Structure 1
Amino acid sequence: MSPIVSLLLFLALAVPMSAALLAAVAPAHTLALEAKYVIGRLVALSALMIATPLLMSIALAVVITSRGPVLFRQMRVGEGGETFAMLKFRSMRVDDAAAAFVPVAGAAPGGVEGVDRRTAVGRFIRRTSLDELPQLWNVVRGDMCLVGPRPERPEHVDRFSGEIPGYAARHRVRVGLTGLAQVAGARGAGSCMATRAQLDNEYIDSWSLGLDMRILGRTVGAVLRGAE
Structure 2
Amino acid sequence: MPKDTNKKGKGKSKSPLSYEVHGHQSTLTRPADEEQQLKQQWRKLQELKEVTLAPVGKPDEKVVFFEGQDVFIVAPGTPISGDAPLPGDRYWKAKIIEMRGNPEELDSDGWLQCIARVAWYYSAKDLDDQQWLPKPLSKSDLAIVKCLGRYELVLSDHDALVPMSTIAGLADVVKFDDTKYKPELNVAPHKFNVHPQDWFHRFDLKTKTKSGIPQLLVSASV
TM-score under structure 2 length normalisation: 0.23
More helix by share: 1
More strand by share: 2
Structure label with greater radius of gyration:
2
